[in-house]
A and B are shown apart, each in its own frame.
Chain A
Amino acid sequence: MSVKEIAGKMIEFDDDDFMADYTVWDQSVAEVLAKEEGIDPLTNRHLEVLDFMRKEFEENGTAPSIRKLNKLNVVPTKELYSLFPGGPAKKAARIAGLKKPHGCI
């Protein structure tokens, strides 16, 4: 657990360096996290994806998979990789303020 000041707020991060509480997230936090992941600027298209992921997380307790985002016509996989280069599932979840997606054991 660590605490960082982001956009004027003290925000807690878990051991995976993902936000501990997704409810304290807002767009200004997302912009800072996006910069940390090498994404600048954060466009409306990014935000559409992040919003959907946050809604899914609220309903199911986990971030949706890349396959689910594609299947539900939220964002095609190819575009998702260009929006969040180098590991979209993890990067998008982190910028959306969600927990690290589950991997298989």
Chain B
Amino acid sequence: MKQLLILGAGTAGTMMANKLAPVLDNEEWQITIVDQFETHYYQPGFLFLPFGIYNKQDVIKPKRDFFAAGVNVIFSTIEIIETDKNQIKLSDGRLLPYDYLIIATGTKIKPQETEGLADGGWFKNIFDFYTIEGAVALAHFLKFWEGGKLVLNITEMPIKCPVAPLEFVFLADWWFTEQGIRDKVEIEFVTPLPGAFTKPRASKVFGDFLAKKNINLTPEFNVSRVDWENNKLISWDERELNYDLLVTIPTNMGDDLIERSGMGDELNFIPTDKHTLKADGHENIFVIGDATNLLSSKAGSVAHFQADILFENFLSAIEGRPMRAKFDGHANCYIESGFGKGILIDFNYDTEPLPGKFPLPGIGPFSLLEETKMNHYGKMMFRWMYWNLLLRGAELPIGSQMLMAGKRL
């Protein structure tokens, strides 16, 4: 029996198991998926928790409900990946050999990487919203907050879902308006990037939205430490910024397992071929989703498009055929902009987000780089699609390769 081992049962790992289970001959292949946690989180929903739009129950389901028949599931932490022996060692010492390995161990926030961040102010007036604990604690804080200066800070790039920080301040503007205290809240968006976003046209559009919503933008701020006793952010070049409430996107890093196994770069992300998704230097290892070192966004939509590519390339690899499917860096992100509207962006390695209609050229129903109610419905509809189609490995009506049709240069 040949062994396909998948590490990580988040969005990417679960999709891969479910796409491959029906097509691999079950007399020839055993698929095993390993994860340390039994709960699957709908991570795009974390954004809505602080504002009470979703509650905890809306974003969690048991992982067991999502694996195709025949997939062997192991809930355990992993001690190390031993690539020279084609095996992994679980924390209890058990060895799992593999013929092929797919690594989908994702990325995590590491607030400890910044001096003073995960210290006395943590979960008092400093919160993240990239974990369920942070998002729920922030929701509780906001219920009682009477106003002051809210600073949203991105510590360093890359981060998971690079649009989420913008969505957070857009929603905060809406939510404080609804609460009747918008005039008592100052909102500041503080980023190491030169503008509101990574690419010029989208950066300009989002910058205009920030200005329109009376949200201050502080670009090129690289935070070195947090003086939590005096509520100050201090940059590497000694600029200081005051806050009353700090919502932080801490440094994002790949799993510690990757470092222990000597497979990662300085952020524990795994060097990966940007087109085939094969791990550099390993013929029988693939990497998918947030665990790669690719310059594509770390986002569920990217994992989904990569899954289509990896599916093709994996089947080629095990039959000894050349890998012909090429990932193009495609990402597709719905951005909540508050007041029941949203903005949509669609882009890849070579093409920055452009205006236009999506997915049907000239028709839509969604509008690219524009704020519409329909884009908001797309975002809200997506949770159903995630649980019922995407995780189960079903085809979605959006191609894995980005299309220029419908976009305006």
Q: Which residues of A contact B (CB under 8 A)?
A: 65, 67-68, 71, 77-78, 81, 85-87, 102-105
Contact = CB atoms under 8 A, between A and B. Distances in A.
B295 A105 contact: yes
B220 A87 contact: yes
B404 interface: no
Nearest to A78: B236
B70 to A, nearest CB: 37
Contacts of A77: 224, 236
In the A-B complex, the 4 residue pairs with the closest CB atoms? A81-B236, A68-B266, A104-B158, A71-B266
Contacts of A65: 266
Contact of A67 (B193, B198, B267, B295): B267
B198 A104 contact: yes
B237 A104 contact: no
Nearest to B199: A105
Given A103-B198, A104-B162, 9 more contacts: A67-B156, A68-B265, A68-B266, A77-B236, A78-B224, A85-B237, A105-B297, A105-B347, A105-B352
A105 B329 contact: yes
A105 B157 contact: no
Interface residues of B, number: 24
Contacts, number: 39
A24 to B, nearest CB: 27
A101 to B, nearest CB: 11
Interface in B57-95: none
Nearest to A69: B266
6 contacts: A67-B266, A67-B267, A102-B295, A104-B295, A104-B297, A105-B198
| Residues of B contacting A: mostly | loop
A71 B265 CA distance: 11
A81 B193 CA distance: 16
A104 B157 contact: yes
B349 A105 contact: yes
Which of B265, B266, B352: most chain A CB closer than 10 A?
Answer: B266
A65 B222 CA distance: 14
B113 to A, nearest CB: 9
A86 B198 contact: no
A98 B162 CA distance: 27
Which of B198, B237, B267: most chain A CB closer than 10 A?
Answer: B237
A65 B158 CA distance: 12
B375 interface: no
Nearest to B237: A81
Interface string B342-356: 000001110010000
B14 interface: no
Nearest to A65: B266
Interface string B184-215: 00000000010000110000000000000000
A89 B222 CA distance: 12
B105 interface: no
A65 B265 CA distance: 10
A81 B267 CA distance: 20
B332 interface: no
A76 to B, nearest CB: 10
B296 interface: yes
Interface in B365-403: none
A3 B321 CA distance: 46
A36 B237 CA distance: 20
B237 A86 contact: yes
Contacts of A87: 220
Contacts of B348: 105
A75 to B, nearest CB: 12
Contacts of B224: 77-78
B161 to A, nearest CB: 12
Contacts of B158: 104
A68 B267 CA distance: 9
A89 B265 CA distance: 17
Nearest to B352: A105
Nearest to A87: B220
Contacts of A103: 157, 193, 198, 295
